Amino acid sequence: MSDYIIETHDLTKRYGNQISVSHLNIHVKKGRIYGLLGRNGAGKTTTMRMLLGLTAPTSGEVTIFGKHFQGNEKKILPRIGCLIESPGFYPNLTGTENLKIFATLRGLKNPKYIKNALELVNLPYRDKKLFSQYSLGMKQRLAIALAVMHNPELLILDEPINGLDPIGIAEVRDFIRELCDASGKTILISSHILSEISLLADDVGIIDHGKLLEEESLKELEAKNAKFIHFCVSDAQKAAQIITTTFSSKDIRLADANNLYLYNTTLPVAKINRSFIEAGIDIQEAHLCEDTLEDYFKKITGGEGIA
Amino acid sequence: MVTIIKTEFIKLKRYFIIWIGVSLMLLTVLLTLFTTMADDGMTWDYQFLFEQVVKNFVTMIFPMCITLISGYMISREYTDDTLKNIETLPISFQKLLAGKLIVSAILSLFLGAVCFAFTVIANFIMGYEGFSLASALTGLVQMTLLGFFLYLTMLPIIVLTSRQRSSFLVGVIVAFVYGFIGMFANGALESIYPVTAALGLINYRSGTGGVMWNKGLCLISVLAMCAIGIAFMFIKPKPEKKEVKKTNRPAHKKGW
Ligand SMILES: Nc1ncnc2c1ncn2[C@@H]1O[C@H](COP(=O)(O)OP(=O)(O)O)[C@@H](O)[C@H]1O
Ligand SMILES: [Mg+2]
């Protein structure tokens, strides 16, 4: 068997004639954080619901911990902690009472489990406040507490930082990182916020319109990003000629009369500049640029990109 | 299963629906007291009050009340979005439903007892004759059990409407009609129609020469409804909504 914790084979979900998830093949490695990145409506939640058996796939298979999910739910699910979409709790109960319900159902008798989980997300234990009076951020924290309470090996977190304030986001990010590094947990996390994924994930899957467009480690992804030198000059046409003739590089793009992009970053920039000046071209700017992940994301999902 | 029942009780804490139930029990007694205003020359005593309360309990309030409470307890798992947390434990919807139905059964006993308590209080306020400890004891047992038996006859409605978010409200209306029709059941029909059969099981008014109950039929009728309800639990859940509705109609015909 492979050493993937989660593996899907052509996982597909169809609602009526709309395909929400299409032939998805994701591979989540042990002890790593896998970020599923996609716009709203890309199919992240649907994918996670299928991984947890909350929604039946139209076709395709899910393998978790090396076992087929279907038929092994009772063995697999207790080893997973999850948070799917909005936090769902009983509004007439306090946070502690809510967790007590799920702890009891899981057979966790020791109140320590509840206490620790609440501590982890910075919520008070045995507080009088009812869930209906919680702020969105507190609700989200409680949902995270529920996901980690029973110390599962695998966490499936659907947009866990939704509704948190910036400090809360940083806290949650830190402890998710900690759960992975210190306790060796495998974590599948989804987000539509690219910076979150790039700050947290080891591996990234990019999903758009239900299809997995890319799957690789964050390092590879970053290395793929285009680097280029941007020249802002008085005569870009002439400058382009100099580069093609004198430096024999065709790896350029003329944006307009003044802007020129050179994609071969190994060329000697200082020498190019001197040649420009000698040819009577004024240089306003010349600098090395790098596409952000965001640009890359836009590019591969077919959105507007700059380069 | 014990843990599911235990957690169901935790979920009821501060839950408004319990108070609606208690209020409805109070309403049953108040409704009965209002009819005393219509002075038709009857002299009321405790026994008569009790019988009138039972009549309103059966035909007006309780079927609707217990269907409402059970329906709320079930549908909240959808509306509060907690079902996903329970199903990923994993606990199946069926098991959860079974736990809830047992808790509802306990609540039906409780509400029966509450209604009886209100009846006794009303009797004291009105100062009717004929109240004795012995009659109180039988009355308590009778009304408590009546709640439970009526609940059993409502099971098919409760289970059928459990698969969808708010179809239980339809169930509440059906339950009301179902109970109300009991008012018109006569003769042998009284032992067959499940709602009135529940009355037979508690021996309602048999002493005063009112009704001749066929206890066997009563028992069969109530148990049949209970069995139908339990059978409905095993209908495979269909995410597509059509399946559940189709089975709705034949179900009730069987009972009548
Ligand atoms: N129960 C459902 N019925 C019909 N369509 C659905 C359902 N759930 C999700 N969808 C559709 O599937 C697509 C993917 O949704 P979702 O997985 O929630 O996206 P994401 O979580 O990435 O924002 C959306 O177009 C959504 O409208
Ligand atoms: Mg989503």
Q: Is the pLDDT of residue A306 over 80?
A: no
Are A79 and A143 in the same domain? yes
Distance between B99 CA and the closest CA of chain A, angstroms: 12
Owning domain of residue A111: 4-215
d(CA B29, CA B51): 11
Q: Is the pLDDT of residue B256 over 70?
A: no
**Helix (H), strand (E) at residue B24:** helix B16-37
Average confidence (pLDDT) over A31-58: 93
Are A144 and A197 in the same domain? yes
What distance in angstroms lies between residue A45's CA and the mean position of ligand 2's atoms? 4
In a domain, A71, yes or no: yes
Are A29 and A100 in the same domain? yes
d(CA A202, CA A204): 7
What distance in angstroms lies between residue A241's CA and the mean position of ligand 1's atoms? 51
Nearest ligand to the C-alpha of residue A49? 1
**Cα separations in angstroms, A191 against A27, A128, B228:** 17, 32, 46
A59 strand-pairing partners: A12
Which has more confidence, B166 or A218? Answer: A218
B85 touches chain A (CB under 8 A): yes
**pLDDT value for B245:** 34
CB contact under 8 A, B88 and A77: yes
Of A24, A36, A45, the residue with max ligand 1 atoms within 8 A of its CB, to mutate for a pocket test, comes to A45
C-beta separation of B185 from B199 below 8 A? no
pLDDT for B139-187, tens place per residue?
999 999 999 999 999 999 999 999 888 788 999 999 999 999 988 887 7
Whether the bond into B250 is cis, omega within 30 of 0: no
Are A94 and A142 in the same domain? yes
Interface test with chain A among B85, B95, B238, B241, by most A beta carbons within 10 Å: B85
Amino acid letter, A296: Y
| Among A199, A265, A188, A173, CA closest to A226 | A265
Number of other residues whose CB lies within 10 A of the CB of residue B142? 19
Supply the DSSP string of A270-293, one letter for each residue. HHHHHHHHHTT--EEEEEEEE--H
What distance in angstroms lies between residue A18's CA and the mean position of ligand 2's atoms? 16
C-beta separation of B213 from B200 below 8 A? yes
In a domain, A200, yes or no: yes
Q: Where are the beta strands (DSSP E) in A66-176?
A: 67-68, 80-83, 154-158
> For ligand 1, what atom is nearest to the CA of residue A40?
23
Q: Is the pLDDT of residue A228 over 50?
A: yes
Are A83 and A147 in the same domain? yes
In a domain, A298, yes or no: no
DSSP-derived letter for residue A257 is S
Distance between A141 CA and the closest CA of chain B, angstroms: 15
d(CA A131, CA A117): 16
The reply to whether ligand 1 has any atom less than 6 angstroms from the CB of A266 is no
Are A33 and A151 in the same domain? yes
C-beta separation of A9 from A25 below 8 A? yes
Given A186, A215, A244, the domain boundary residue is: A215
Q: How many domains does the structure of chain A reveal? A: 2
Which is it for strands A227-233 and A259-262: parallel, antiparallel or unpaired?
Answer: antiparallel
The two structure tokens encoding residue B61: 């309030």
**A92 to chain B: which residues are within 8 Å by CB?**
11, 13-16
pLDDT tier at B208, thresholds 50, 70, 90: low
C-beta separation of A125 from A96 below 8 A? yes
d(CA A113, CA A151): 9
CB contact under 8 A, B7 and A105: yes
CB contact under 8 A, B11 and A100: no
B81 touches chain A (CB under 8 A): yes
Which region holds residue A107: left if phi is over 0, alpha if psi is between -120 and 50, else beta? left
In a domain, A303, yes or no: no
The two structure tokens encoding residue A261: 């992009």
In a domain, A285, yes or no: yes
The reply to whether ligand 1 has any atom less than 6 angstroms from the CB of A43 is yes
Are A174 and A257 in the same domain? no
Q: Is the pLDDT of residue B243 over 50?
A: no
Average confidence (pLDDT) over A287-297: 77
What CATH number should be reported for the domain holding residue A18?
3.40.50.300
The two structure tokens encoding residue B73: 């307890």
Are A238 and A165 in the same domain? no
In a domain, A230, yes or no: yes
What CATH number should be reported for the domain holding residue A270?
3.30.70
d(CA B25, CA A44): 48
Are A250 and A154 in the same domain? no
The reply to whether ligand 1 has any atom less than 6 angstroms from the CB of A17 is no
Which region holds residue B203: left if phi is over 0, alpha if psi is between -120 and 50, else beta? left
What distance in angstroms lies between residue A46's CA and the mean position of ligand 1's atoms? 6
Q: Nearest by CB to B82, from A52, A90, A100: name it.
A: A90
Are A26 and A83 in the same domain? yes
Amino acid letter, A269: V
**pLDDT value for B54:** 94
B1 touches chain A (CB under 8 A): no
pLDDT tier at A198, thresholds 50, 70, 90: confident
CB contact under 8 A, B81 and A78: no
The reply to whether ligand 1 has any atom less than 6 angstroms from the CB of A84 is no
The reply to whether ligand 1 has any atom less than 6 angstroms from the CB of A55 is no
B76 touches chain A (CB under 8 A): yes
pLDDT tier at A223, thresholds 50, 70, 90: confident
Pseudo-torsion of CA A267, A271, A277, A280, nearest 10°?
A: -60
Distance between A109 CA and the closest CA of chain B, angstroms: 11
pLDDT for A71-87, tens place per residue?
999 999 999 999 999 99
In a domain, A220, yes or no: no
The two structure tokens encoding residue B186: 């006569």
Mean pLDDT of chain A: 89
What distance in angstroms lies between residue A44's CA and the mean position of ligand 1's atoms? 8
Give Cβ neighbours of residue B82 (< 8 Å, ≥ 6 apart).
A88, A89, A90, B76
In a domain, A301, yes or no: no
**B13 to chain A: which residues are within 8 Å by CB?**
92-93, 97
Are A244 and A175 in the same domain? no
C-beta separation of A26 from A10 below 8 A? no
Average confidence (pLDDT) over A273-288: 89
Q: Is the pLDDT of residue B251 over 60?
A: no
**A97 to chain B: which residues are within 8 Å by CB?**
10, 13
What distance in angstroms lies between residue A39's CA and the mean position of ligand 2's atoms? 9
**pLDDT value for A305:** 34
Sheet containing strand A283-290, edge to edge, reads A252-254, A259-262, A227-233, A283-290
Are A207 and A230 in the same domain? no
**Helix (H), strand (E) at residue A19:** strand A18-24
The two structure tokens encoding residue B6: 């235990």
pLDDT for B38-67, tens place per residue?
766 777 889 989 999 999 999 999 999 999
